[in-house]
């Protein structure tokens, strides 16, 4: 019998490898100017998970109408909320900070009871955005180059939608497809009804309300919208948004009259999930609501949709139609509460790996 080159008693060992954790959010332009915004919009609106219209019809609309007319206006909106200290969009600055604070928590032994030294040897943290830079492929490759044989991808979307979570998954799998030696990968599920998430969200809302100099008549819960036809195809997003809304109201003991729901960021001519947030804000003001608070629990980090669309545009609509006091509650971001959530989600999903 022929002998094997490697005996069963060989001292040769394959290193176990580190555990990589990749935090992912949507993305942002590289600068609040026409061409960077155009590049961002082109990448974003070319994703067939985002726009499901057949390319033969969508391509000329995108290139000859949208990418000609919209970048200049959107660039002005980004300029109004741009993080001048770091010279980047708020979402990018916040996502980086979340990753840095998460890495510091892990480095202090937060995920590993054996302490700091083992944490440094076991984990490596990276962050990415789905559109622009640093992208998901770069994040996966970086983790693998740092010796990560197992990777947890944490999409920072509380509610699942094909246009967000599934698009992240697509990019992860596309990257893995090009690798000969693939790491093991887990993708964290949505956390729309997670009790920790709801509890931290409610705590954040209470803290925000306590800092106001007025008592709101109404607390409006606003989620990013979705075309109705997409939801009708089986996307669970709408139901998950309504469940987050219900659980948050239940925590506060509020009915739908005092705490209604709305959907924002409508794009194009098709009918989207309703009621529309802007229309709700206008209607509430016209009906005599004097104090309005808006919270957006579909976003884990403040961005154009919260800092401009809600905090600026909806405020103007409210005041112009008879409202008096308006406040937008910040997202959990990289606050202590926001980091508690990320720590909890990661610890839960890493069971069996640590």
SS3 (DSSP) at 295: strand
Average pLDDT over residues 168-178: 97
Q: Is the pLDDT of residue 326 over 60?
A: yes
Residue 121 has a pLDDT of 81
Q: Which two tokens stand for residue 59?
A: 């391509």
Average pLDDT over residues 250-263: 97
Phi, psi torsion values for 122, nearest 5 degrees: -100, -35
Residue 14 has a pLDDT of 47
Q: Give domain 18-192+336-349's CATH number out of 3.20.10.10, 1.10.3720.10, 3.40.50.1400, 3.40.50.300.
A: 3.40.50.1400
Q: Is the pLDDT of residue 303 over 50?
A: yes
CB 224 within 8 A of CB 263: yes
Average pLDDT over residues 255-273: 95
On whether the pTM is more than 0.85, the answer is: yes
Question: What CATH number belongs to 195-328?
Answer: 3.40.50.1400
Could you tell me whether strands 18-27 and 123-131 are parallel, antiparallel, or unpaired per DSSP bridges? parallel
Q: Which two tokens stand for residue 159?
A: 């509610």
List pLDDT tens digits, range 195-248.
999 999 999 999 999 999 999 999 999 999 999 999 999 999 999 999 999 999
Contacts of 9 (CB under 8 A, 6+ apart): none
Sorting pLDDT into bands at 50, 70 and 90, what band is 268? confident
Q: Where in the chain is the domain with CATH 3.40.50.1400?
A: 18-192+336-349, 195-328
Residue 113 has a pLDDT of 66
pLDDT mean across residues, the chain: 93
List pLDDT tens digits, range 1-41.
443 344 444 444 445 689 999 999 999 999 999 999 999 99
For 100, 129, 143, 351, the CA distances from 182, given in Å and listed in that order, are 26, 21, 11, 21
CB 260 within 8 A of CB 220: yes
Contacts of 353 (CB under 8 A, 6+ apart): 19, 150, 152, 186
Residue 8 has a pLDDT of 42
How far apart are the C-alpha atoms of 94 and 26, rounded to whole Å?
12
Q: Is the pLDDT of residue 187 over 80?
A: yes
List pLDDT tens digits, range 113-162.
676 667 778 999 999 999 999 999 999 999 999 999 999 999 999 999 99
- Closest among 172, 193, 213 to 297, alpha carbons compared: 193
Q: Which two tokens stand for residue 95?
A: 């996502």
Contacts of 28 (CB under 8 A, 6+ apart): 40, 78, 88, 89, 90, 91, 92, 129, 131, 132, 303, 304
Q: What percent of the chain has pLDDT over 90?
A: 89
- Closest among 80, 92, 74, 65 to 35, alpha carbons compared: 74
At residue 289's C-alpha, the angle toward residues 287 and 293, to 5°, is: 135
Residue 117 has a pLDDT of 67
Residue 16 has a pLDDT of 63
Residue 269 has a pLDDT of 84
List pLDDT tens digits, range 74-94.
999 999 999 999 999 999 999
Q: What percent of the chain has pLDDT over 70?
A: 94
């Amino acid at each position: 019998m022929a002998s094997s080159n490697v005996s069963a008693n060989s001292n040769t060992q394959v290193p176990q490898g580190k555990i990589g954790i990749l935090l992912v959010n949507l993305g942002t332009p590289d600068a609040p100017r026409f061409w960077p915004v155009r590049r961002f919009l082109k990448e974003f609106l070319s994703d067939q998970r985002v726009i499901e219209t057949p390319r033969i019809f969508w391509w000329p609309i995108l290139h000859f109408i949208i990418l000609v007319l919209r970048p200049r206006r959107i660039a002005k909106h980004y300029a109004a909320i741009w993080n001048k200290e770091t010279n980047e969009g708020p979402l990018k600055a916040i996502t980086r900070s979340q990753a840095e604070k998460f890495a510091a928590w892990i480095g202090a032994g937060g995920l590993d009871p054996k302490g700091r030294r083992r944490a440094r040897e076991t984990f490596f943290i990276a962050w990415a955005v789905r559109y622009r830079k640093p992208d998901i492929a770069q994040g996966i490759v970086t983790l693998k180059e740092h010796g990560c044989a197992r990777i947890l991808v944490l999409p920072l979307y509380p509610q699942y939608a094909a246009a967000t979570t599934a698009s992240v998954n697509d990019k992860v799998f596309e990257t893995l497809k090009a690798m000969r030696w693939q790491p093991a990968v887990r993708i964290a599920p949505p956390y729309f009804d997670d009790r920790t998430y709801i509890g931290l969200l409610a705590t954040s809302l209470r803290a925000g309300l306590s800092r106001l100099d007025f008592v709101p008549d109404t607390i409006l819960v606003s989620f990013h919208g979705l075309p109705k036809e997409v939801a009708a195809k089986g996307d669970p997003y709408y139901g998950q948004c309504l469940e987050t809304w219900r659980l948050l109201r239940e925590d506060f003991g509020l009915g739908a009259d005092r705490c209604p729901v709305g959907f924002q960021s409508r794009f194009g001519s098709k009918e989207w999930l309703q009621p529309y947030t802007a229309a709700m804000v206008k209607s509430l003001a016209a009906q005599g609501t004097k104090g309005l608070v808006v919270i957006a629990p579909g976003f884990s980090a403040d961005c154009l949709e919260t800092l401009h669309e809600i905090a600026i545009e909806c405020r103007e609509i409210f005041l112009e139609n008879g409202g008096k006091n308006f406040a937008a509650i910040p997202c959990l971001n990289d606050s202590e509460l926001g980091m508690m959530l990320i720590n909890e989600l990661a610890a839960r999903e890493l069971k069996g790996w640590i």
